[in-house]
Every structure is written in C-alpha cells, then in structure tokens.
C-alpha cells in the first residue's frame, strides 16, 4: 500500500468524468462522498464566509478543533480558504485510508471502488481476484490493488468575475488582497494540488507565497511559489478546458 499522503499521490484516477462546480457552495462537500471512490469534484471559493461557516459545522461533525477566523483578521480570506481545503483534504485522506484497509468482500468500500471503475486493466485485475486460490498470490494481488486506489481530485473554482478590488467603503485593496488573488493564495498554501477555472485576467497578478511541495512527504519541507498571470484570454487548469 502506498504511504504517500493524499496530496502527494498521482493526480488522475481512471474515471473519465468529474462533478463540476455548482453555484457558490452546492459542491463544497461533494469530495467527501466521491473522492474516496476516485471521482473528482470542484469546490467553489467565491464566498469565504460560507466556507468558514461550513468549516465550523464540519469540524464539529469530524471531532476536529475549530479555531474561527474572523472577517477582520489579517489575510482572512486566504486563511479561511486554506483552512477549509485542509479540513476537506484531511477527512478525504482518512476515508481513503479506511477504504484501502477494508476487506475484499461483497459490500465493502474497496469492492465498491473497483465496481465503479470503467473497464480498465485495473478493473480486469480486480475481477481476476475471485479466481485466485493460492493465499500468498491472493495477498500479493490484494496489496497491488490497494495501492492502485487513487482518490479523485479535489479541484477548486475561483470566480474572478466577482474579484473585488475595493472594500465596501470604496477603498482600493492591496494588490494581494483582491478576492480572487486571496483565494488563489489560500489554495496554494493548502494541501491540495489541483485547480480548475477559467481566469480572464485583465491585469497582472504576482502572488508570492510559501507552500508545501507537491510531492514531498516531509512536513517540514517547503518551497517558494510565485504566480504571475498576465493575459486577456482564459487560462485553464488542468486538462478539462473551460466551462
């Protein structure tokens, strides 16, 4: 079984569809249900107040300590975004670990995972498991199948059309505190590694931050990342195009 943390595992499962973003919050918890089954979904980062409210409720549900981040706190939008994404990532990682350790028997989570896969070599290997009678061989095949479990991506959507560059009082915000840039910064500092959106950017964004390395298992390791986006055409990540 892979010992990599969720955010350092191979990006793409074998499913050929995903659940797109819906509104400003309808899919914000979808990953909890579908990511352990290998299906990708998208979290909307438009409303940081909603994310904070959802984090409060989910923290109690998961038995996790909740430390509120107030609107007036320093860099609140980015910190709220990061805290919510980290909470979802940690819970999905826990559920994936439970799925991987479940037995290969009817109705178990890992059986459900492979039942839902499209017809691939991985699924064919799982089907052949029922024909294996040698205990040592079966143990090896089961171990290989458990390692082949890849959770769906937890992607994010940044609605730049709502990018507020001014406060409610009409005062210009600092360049790194506009809504979209703050959301991007929160995502980059989180444990997630995938992003989905179309970013029609009429101006240059230059956002410097410290983030965890995408493929490091060391909690102390870090890297510097600078996002410089300067375009009048949509930029789309990662592979599915805009929409």
Q: Tell me: the pLDDT tens digits for 64-104?
A: 999 999 998 999 999 999 999 999 999 999 999 999 999 99
Residue 36 within any structural domain of the chain? yes
Q: Distance between CA 193 and CA 177 in Å, rounded?
A: 22
Whether residue 128 is contained in a domain is answered as no
- The torsion defined by the Cα of 54, 50, 42 and 216, in degrees rounded to 10, comes to -70
pLDDT for position 162: 62
pLDDT, one tens digit per residue, over 10-46 is 457 888 888 998 888 899 999 999 999 999 999 999 8
Question: What's the pLDDT at 203?
Answer: 40
Residue 123 lies in a domain: no
Asked whether residue 232 is assigned to any structural domain, the reply reads no
Is the residue at 68 inside a domain?
yes
Closest CA to 55 of 90, 21, 5: 90
- Please tell me the predicted confidence (pLDDT) of residue 187: 93
> pLDDT per residue over 155-194, tens digit each?
999 876 666 777 778 888 777 778 888 899 999 999 987 6
Number of domains in the chain: 1
Q: Mean pLDDT, to the nearest integer, of 40-59?
A: 95
Residue 228 has what pLDDT?
Answer: 36
pLDDT for residue 54 is more than 90: yes
Indicate the average pLDDT of the chain.
78
**42 located within any domain:** yes
The per-residue pLDDT for 177 is: 77
pLDDT reading at 221 higher than 90: no
Q: Please state, in angstroms and rounded to a whole number, the distance separating the CA atoms of residues 228 and 243.
A: 22
From first CA to last CA, the distance across the chain in angstroms is 36
Inside any domain, residue 210? no
Name the more confident of 235 and 199: 199
Structural domain that includes position 43:
6-97+150-198
Q: How much is the pLDDT for 186?
A: 93
In the predicted model, is pLDDT for residue 144 greater than 80? yes
pLDDT given for residue 194 in this prediction: 63
User: Is residue 220 one of the residues assigned to a domain?
Assistant: no
């Amino acid at each position: 079984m892979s010992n990599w943390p969720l955010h350092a595992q191979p990006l793409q499962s074998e499913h050929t569809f995903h659940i797109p973003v819906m509104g400003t919050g309808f899919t914000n918890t979808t990953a909890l249900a579908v990511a352990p089954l290998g299906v990708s979904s998208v979290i909307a980062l438009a409303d940081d107040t909603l994310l904070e409210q959802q984090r409060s409720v989910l923290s109690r549900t998961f038995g996790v300590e909740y430390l509120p981040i107030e609107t007036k706190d320093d860099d609140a939008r980015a910190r709220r975004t990061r805290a919510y994404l980290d909470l979802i990532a940690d819970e999905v990682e826990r559920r994936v670990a439970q799925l991987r350790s479940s037995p290969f028997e009817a109705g178990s989570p890992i059986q459900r995972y492979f039942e839902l896969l499209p017809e691939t070599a991985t699924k064919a290997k799982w089907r052949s498991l029922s024909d294996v009678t040698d205990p040592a061989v079966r143990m090896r095949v089961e171990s290989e199948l458990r390692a082949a479990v890849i959770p769906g991506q937890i992607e994010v959507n940044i609605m730049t059309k709502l990018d507020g560059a001014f406060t409610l009082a009409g005062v210009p915000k600092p360049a790194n505190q506009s809504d979209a840039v703050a959301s991007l910064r929160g995502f980059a500092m989180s444990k997630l590694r995938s992003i989905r959106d179309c970013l029609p950017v009429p101006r240059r964004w230059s956002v410097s931050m410290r983030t965890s390395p995408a493929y490091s298992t060391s909690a102390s390791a870090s890297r510097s990342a600078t996002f410089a986006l300067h375009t009048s055409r949509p930029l789309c990540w990662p592979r599915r195009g805009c929409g």
